[in-house]
Chain A
């Protein structure tokens, strides 16, 4: 995808060398510490709090990981086993034999990539038009888009289903992708970002003869990367985890995505063998985790953008 190359260039242009950054951070920390002047008790309490929060977040994840390596008889025992003993890779091989796991992964990747790309492009272009271009009815269009944001997708599901079924698109990629590609959220987020850009720069670019596309690509976008990255990440994560629509549209493993496929490991009337379910969960989390770690710094910058006035 093109985002990765984009992120690379931003890193080179915008972020100072690592050593410099660290120095600045330490300086910032010192300033903070001296102004607050906390006693050792508070510092200790702070660390305890941090450890607690870490446990709350990490223990379930750890449990998923450990369970995925356990033998079936060791999953429900008391006292709980905190380490797989003996460890087994069997859950992972069962995962690939009991359900067509690789088919689900392929579908998930195709559908997530296509929908996210469509959403990002549509979101940026529509937000650009609604914020920086002038045309009659602009605010009405914007209100309509925002209104669309207010309608939860569970409500539009039935009419979307009817439309897509009539087109004969059930159980096809386009049947899943196209109805998901609408982006009121992206339009809203990116429009606010674009409106916050200093008008002088845009004015100057216009005076220098930049056309609308050039203005977008050379001036507006470079100033909006963090927001865009945050938007992209949120989109990818939510598309990857999307359940309802792919479930309704798909009939079998030729189009069904991972979240849909993983449910077939669970037993709907009886006892579920949780080992393979956990193994599947681990594998489904990995790509998103990697992507998140990769884009994390950009993302946090994006979420706090505009929180502080410079």
Chain B
């Protein structure tokens, strides 16, 4: 140990330095043969197991491997939510070793599609002779960019109107949801009187937790929109009216925002809320009172949500073909029923509702039935929320300001300007390219 000469040490230090420099040169030297690593008969499926669905996913995968001998599916834990899957996918785009199938949410798919990192599926679908008309239209068209589809619907949810039946009874209301938001306003004082001072009539998620998603319903209910195609329409008088309605609900003490309304609702301190269908199972299990569900107020005003599955662009054609085979299997009528019954998501196929096991399930779960009957009345969300980078967060922040009492017209005007600017600088040039 004592023979640790100075020269030897310097040599070592030099060697370490060179190794360090070499280590820095990580990016960009991936073998870019278009294969992106991976073998062609193992399908890597990157999923965040939406709605704790890992056991169901494994069950479907097993059935797929039995039906397609020679193909293997490797299920990868790719994150705890859609954003983390997007992050991991992003990292893999820089470094090779791409997955074959990846879960992309309504908000994350567009950026990947725009930058040509996801494959357009239409050509692959027609070569494989897959009939897409059986997919629920609003869900299928959510992944449309320039008349090409970049994902197929997988774990799709919509908001539902949840209400506490005990409170409804105490307030002397009919056992149903409001027809529209004007009717709700006539109900609100009765509900408040019945609820007492320590309870809240309605609680919604705040602006950083998808208020902008459920508020989409109010906006459409008043004939407004976040945008028409790519033109933001926050300043539209109808949109402003919806914003004012939201503000008045809060001003009159009927509405509270929170990070997650589900715990308060299940604890019985909140009369009603708009939450994802994904919460259905959990709320029904936890609540100690009868839970009622209804369509969102209005007709055909329910936004879609959730995630689909896509195929990376930069993998070999063989892998793409296998990936599509797996996606078709994962989302076919039988499996979408298996998957959605275990999780609370919506079946993505029209024919799924006709299957006997789905009929039996709906018989037993009237609340799930509400969600499925609402499905044909869904509408794809406005571009400015789901497709503009940071759109949801930007609108959510504006809505938070409105609820806190800032002038609606001013806030919405600023949203118009900001959204337009983001579109001009980040999207416009890449569209149709």
Contact = CB atoms under 8 A, between A and B. Distances in A.
Interface residues of B, number: 64
Nearest to B6: A135
A44 B331 CA distance: 67
A191 B2 CA distance: 21
B348 to A, nearest CB: 15
B24 A159 contact: yes
Contact of A269 (B2, B13, B30, B157): B157
A129 B278 contact: no
Contact of A264 (B23, B37, B80, B267): B80
A159 B87 CA distance: 14
B276 A170 contact: no
A273 B23 contact: no
Contacts of A135: 6, 9-10, 13
B180 to A, nearest CB: 27
A252 B281 contact: no
Interface string A211-232: 1111000000000000000000
B77 A271 contact: no
Contacts of B286: 72-73, 75-76, 271
Given A78-B268, A268-B51, A162 B9 contact: no
Contacts of A263: 79-80
A214 B2 CA distance: 7
Interface residues of A, number: 44
B281 A271 contact: yes
B4 A271 contact: no
Interface stretch (B92-100, B113-121, B163-171, B309-317): B92-100
Contacts of A212: 2, 4
Interface string B150-175: 00000101000000000000000000
A264 B77 contact: yes
A269 B9 contact: no
A217 B159 CA distance: 65
A233 interface: no
10 pairs of A and B residues whose beta carbons are closest in the complex:
A271-B282, A162-B95, A211-B2, A163-B26, A263-B80, A270-B278, A269-B278, A159-B26, A165-B95, A213-B1
19 contacts: A76-B286, A162-B27, A162-B30, A162-B95, A213-B4, A214-B1, A247-B84, A252-B75, A252-B76, A263-B79, A263-B80, A264-B49, A267-B52, A268-B48, A269-B155, A269-B276, A270-B276, A270-B278, A271-B279
Given A267-B52, A269-B306, 20 more contacts: A135-B10, A158-B90, A162-B29, A165-B30, A165-B95, A165-B96, A166-B29, A166-B31, A170-B97, A211-B2, A214-B2, A252-B75, A252-B76, A266-B80, A269-B50, A269-B51, A270-B276, A270-B280, A270-B343, A273-B282
Interface of A: 72-73, 75-78, 129, 133, 135-136, 141, 157-166, 170, 211-214, 247-248, 250-253, 256, 260, 263-264, 266-273
Interface of B: 1-4, 6, 9-10, 13, 23-24, 26-31, 37, 48-52, 54, 74-77, 79-82, 84, 87-88, 90-92, 94-97, 155, 157, 262-264, 266-269, 276, 278-283, 285-286, 288, 306, 343-345
